[in-house]
Structure 1
Amino acid sequence: MRANLIVIYTHRLSECRKFYESLGLVFEEEQHGTGPRHFAAVLPGGMVFELYPAAAPGRESGPVRLGFGSEVRARHGYAAGRHMLRDPDGRTIELHVAG
């Protein structure tokens, strides 16, 4: 078994999208039927990472720690190695950048 989907609910949709794009994710805007517009990025290996608007108080994703391995280089401002970051909602993001 392997994970194939991560969904983050946020009241800071635009800010979170920009943050995760700075890590190298490329989002497409999507909407399924009459559901909310949201953003989806397909990661290497096929996992989908989605950002959804938190439609109501208490709907936002709570404290989550995510880890990404990346080919991100200096063009994104990250040197090779491990970086501990926080997204706009305060989630801990562990970024491993290849050398």
Structure 2
Amino acid sequence: MIQLNLVVIKTNRPEEQLRFYSTLGITFEHHRYGKGPYHYASTLEGLTFEIYPLPESVAEPDTTTRLGFTVESLNSTLQCLEEMGVETVQAPASTEWGYAAVVKDMDGRRIELVEKMIK
């Protein structure tokens, strides 16, 4: 069995990214490993999700990675994100995966948000 257990995004806007991803309902800790850079980390059901500063040798963050998150309430989450000035790329709609929308994080990565399905 294989399982994804780590996703790291690197940014030159860590505080803004912290605010964006916290709005999705993710809780982070601020820390560092050994002599590495301070960063934000969260554990989501076995997946560690981290926000690291860009290395000095890199000018711009990668925006080609697309991430997806399940949220409690899509409309409420979108309202909070829109108040932050976040761009909605794909308006909320019912899809085969559920009620979903796509937004851009503070670096411009496309982030798919799907409302948690009630069982």
Tell me whether 1:47 sits opposite 2:65 in the alignment: no
Q: Give 1:28-43 correspondences, 5 Å limit.
A: 28-43=29-44
Tell me whether 1:88 sits opposite 2:89 in the alignment: no
Contact 1:23 1:72 in 2 (8 A): no
The one-letter amino acid paired with 2:66 is R
In structure 2, do the counterparts of structure 1 residues 88 and 31 end up closer, same or farther at CA, with 3 Å as the change threshold? Answer: same
Distance in 1 of aligned mates of 2:28 and 2:12: 17
Listed as ranges, the gaps of 5+ residues in structure 2 are 81-91, 93-97
Quote the offset at 1:81 in angstroms: 2.1
CA RMSD of aligned residues (A): 2.2
**Greater CA radius of gyration, 1 or 2?**
2
Which residue pairs with 2:85 in the alignment?
A: none
Contact 2:74 2:99 in 1 (8 A): no
Q: Taking structure 2 as the reference length, what is the TM-score of the superposition?
A: 0.72
Listed as ranges, the gaps of 5+ residues in structure 1 are none
